[in-house]
């Protein structure tokens, strides 16, 4: 007699097997696509006509997989981290599809994070335009952010805390007319 746990484990194992076979089949399909269009560039239109539900952007991605410039596991991944990883070399794509990236923390510690779990600020820190930043590059990035924040604080401090517009004194969200100021000065004199 099988238990529900055994049935579940069997289903999980079969799912994984089918899923991995799916990637293998996708890779072979993309390679076939590239072989065909390399022989006859006009065959692109034949593929697109035969499969009108596949958008043109997907065909470009299929070609990238078939040419080995895009890892097949990035075809279906829509996370921000995965999108940034697409711009990296195929070697980096392969490495970080399977392994977490190092995220340098402000205290110098390193956090290992799967690309699918990176937060938006971590994505900015970890990825340069076309590669994964090294720890020293991430440190430089963190320091540049700190410097920019310091400069913004200094700039804001230099700005006058008030302005005069159309004969009114504006301080934050408050505006004062000349008569309001005279009243305020009179109250201060008391």
Share of the chain above pLDDT 90, in %: 64
Asked if pLDDT for residue 90 goes beyond 90, the answer is yes
Mean pLDDT of the chain, nearest integer: 90
Cβ contacts of residue 135 below 8 Å, gap of 6+?
A: 102, 104, 110
The stretch 125-154 carries a mean pLDDT of 88
Give residue 96's pLDDT band: very low, low, confident or very high (50, 70, 90): very high
- Residue position matching structure tokens 């990637």: 23
Q: What pLDDT is stored for residue 88 in this prediction?
A: 96
Rg (the chain; Cα; Å): 29
Give residue 78's pLDDT band: very low, low, confident or very high (50, 70, 90): confident
Residues 109-139: pLDDT tens digits?
A: 999 999 999 999 999 999 999 999 999 999 9
Give residue 157's pLDDT band: very low, low, confident or very high (50, 70, 90): low
Asked if pLDDT for residue 8 goes beyond 70, the answer is yes
pTM: 0.70
Asked if pLDDT for residue 65 goes beyond 70, the answer is yes
Give residue 1's pLDDT band: very low, low, confident or very high (50, 70, 90): low
């Amino acid at each position: 007699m099988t238990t529900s746990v055994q049935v579940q484990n069997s289903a999980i194992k079969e799912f994984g097997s089918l899923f991995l076979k799916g990637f293998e089949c996708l890779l072979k399909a993309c390679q076939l696509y590239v072989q065909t269009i390399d022989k006859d560039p006009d065959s692109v239109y034949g593929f697109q006509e035969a499969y009108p539900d596949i958008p043109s952007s997907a065909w470009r991605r299929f070609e990238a997989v078939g040419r080995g410039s895009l890892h097949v596991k990035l075809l279906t991944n829509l996370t921000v981290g995965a999108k940034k990883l697409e711009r990296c070399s195929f070697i980096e794509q392969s490495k970080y599809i399977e392994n977490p990236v190092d995220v340098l923390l402000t205290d110098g510690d390193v956090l290992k994070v799967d690309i699918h779990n990176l937060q938006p600020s971590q994505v900015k820190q970890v990825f340069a335009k076309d590669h994964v930043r090294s720890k020293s590059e991430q440190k430089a990035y963190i320091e540049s952010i700190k410097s920019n924040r310091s400069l913004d604080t200094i700039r804001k401090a230099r700005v006058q805390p008030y302005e005069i517009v159309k004969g009114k004194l504006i301080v934050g969200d408050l505006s004062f007319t000349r008569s309001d100021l005279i009243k305020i000065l009179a109250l201060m004199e008391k």
